[in-house]
Structure 1
Amino acid sequence: MSEKAIVEVKPITMYEAKKILSEAITEIGEPLYGQKICLDYLNKFAKLSPEEGKKIVEKVLEVNDKIRPEVAVKVSDLLPMDEEDVKIIFAKERVILDREEINMIVEICALYLR
């Protein structure tokens, strides 16, 4: 078996994970049990395209320059629908968002909710 090296570590949205996992399963054929469970979960919850997920992350990062990419990805994955949801996502973060920034994040997510 060939060894693979980790080239880069970066947070990805569940939409990107779904695409990567689907391509990997197509390449190898029959998925392993864990891959099948993961893909089932992603098919159930990842309803946006990878491009839409990336756009959300980019827009959230523009709201406040102190937002970490990992948290922006979490916002993209969870698509908070109100202020409380946003506050919960940012509860353990050192960045403090004002009401305007929270509303901007809710509005960004609302554009992609179907």
Structure 2
Amino acid sequence: MRKNSVKNTRINEAVKEELSSIIRNSVKDPRIAMMTSVTEAIVAPDLKTCKVMISVLGDEKAKSDTMTGLRSSAKFIRHELAVRLNLRNTPELTFRLDESIEYGVNMSKRIDEVMEEDRKKHEVSDEQN
């Protein structure tokens, strides 16, 4: 199976959806923040490993606590994934923090601030002329 094959893409999407559901509904670890989402699941072509990108809305402590909780719940999550999905192998899960959404929000906010400053400068220069 090629890395970006249609089958691999479907497996990635199915694993992502099931992991989201498991984390939201089945995992009872209090360290995991309520605003935790799975942004991407990358399953290896041999179905042995899976990188799970996690986005957490909150401060640094919430992020580190959530990652700790997910890592300690990894075996339970993998077992639940095996029950829900009929795969030849259930992949070993590796959780990674995905800060791309937060980075995008920050950049958008900065762009808006720069645009507002630029607009104000143009208004002042127009009034002087």
Same fold, TM exceeding 0.5? Answer: no
The alignment's TM-score, normalised by the length of structure 2, stands at 0.30
User: If each structure's helix is expressed as a fraction of its own residues, which one has the higher value?
Assistant: 1
The alignment's TM-score, normalised by the length of structure 1, stands at 0.32
User: If each structure's strand is expressed as a fraction of its own residues, which one has the higher value?
Assistant: 2
